[in-house]
Amino acid sequence: MPLSAYLIVSAILFTVGVVGVLIRRNPLIIFMSIELMLNAVNLSFVAISSKLDSADG
Amino acid sequence: MTVVQISFFVLAVASVASALGVITFKNAVHCALSLILTLLFLALFYLQLGAMFIAVVQILIYAGAIMVLFLFVVTMLASEASDTQLADRIPWQRWVAGILGLVLVGALSYLLFTGTSIDNRAVATGANSLSHVVNAQGNTEAFGQALFHGFVYPFEVTSLLIIVALLGAMVLGRKA
């Protein structure tokens, strides 16, 4: 799969996390949305690392 | 369509759907379970990208440790407090959040499709490349090489940050 496909999924997940932080009032669910954003960024790191064939990402 | 493409699309749809579940379910326990599902799908993404060690760590740490902690907190203190009972909700909050989310996804996709491609960037070759190190030493060893040789300073700063957070949690917990 091309790199941009993974980056698009990562961007969508990040946006879902941002919207979750904005629309929910329960602090616990806001934390879960933050975890979602962190994991979206992790996915883009791993995809870029795999693309560049370097462990530095 | 090859097997890789089919599995990618299935994983992409499933992970985005379960991520939407995290922010739409009313019950906090359902949100936590949906988040566990999202994290497992992300671990499958990592497996697809050949990052075995990251995938296993993702399952162990996130699905195993962090989400259990979340579920404990949900069952102990916050299960009844749903969104509708909190009085300080702004009425137009949902619309503004939707518009801002659309703006963000538009900006991100604009950057993705117009930005400089890294296809022509210098890909590491020879003994420095990740696949070479993985083939020679193994996945975990390659991760450890990167973490403890190139990123020792950020690693130590992270440990300091964790100690500060631990002290903060202790101080806040004593007052309550």
- Helix H segments across A1-57? 3-23, 27-52
Point out the least confidently predicted range of A53-57, B81-85, B139-143. Answer: B81-85
How far is the C-alpha of A9 from the C-alpha of B49, rounded, in Å?
14
Q: Under an 8 A CB cutoff, do A18 and B100 touch?
A: yes
Q: What's the confidence (pLDDT) of residue B92?
A: 78
Total domains in chain A come to 1
Is A14 within a domain?
yes
pLDDT band for position B11 (50/70/90)? Answer: very high
Within the 18-47 window of chain A, which residues sit less than 8 Å (CB to CB) from chain B? 18-20, 22-29, 31-33, 35-36, 39, 42-43, 46-47
The boundaries of the domain holding residue A27 are 3-52
Asked if residues B139 and B53 have their Cβ atoms less than 8 Å apart, the reply is yes
- Distance (Å, rounded) from C-alpha B89 to C-alpha A17? 19
- Does the structure show a pLDDT above 90 at B72? no
Angstroms from B166 CA to nearest CA on chain A: 17
How many residues in chain B?
A: 176
ipTM of the complex: 0.91
The band of B134, judged by pLDDT with boundaries at 50, 70 and 90, is confident
Q: Is A17 within a domain? A: yes
- Whether the full predicted model's pTM is greater than 0.90, yes or no, is no
Mean pLDDT of B70-90: 67
Per-residue pLDDT for B93 more than 80? Answer: no
Q: Which residues of A touch B89 (CB under 8 A)?
A: 25
Q: Is B66 on the interface with A (CB under 8 A)?
A: yes
Architecture of domain B1-80: Up-down Bundle (1.20)
Q: What is the pLDDT of residue B87?
A: 54
For residue A39, is it within any domain? yes
The reply to whether A22 falls in a domain is yes
pLDDT band at B78 (very low <50, low <70, confident <90, very high): low
pLDDT at residue B89, rounded to an integer: 63
Looking at residue B101, its amino acid is G
**Closest C-alpha to B129, from B110, B145, B113, B108:** B145
Q: Is the pLDDT of residue B119 over 70?
A: no
Q: Which of residues 80-119 of B touch A (CB under 8 A)?
A: 81-83, 86, 88-89, 93-94, 96-98, 100-101, 104-105, 108-109, 112-113, 118-119
Per-residue model confidence (pLDDT) at position B124: 62
Classify residue A57: in a domain, yes or no.
no
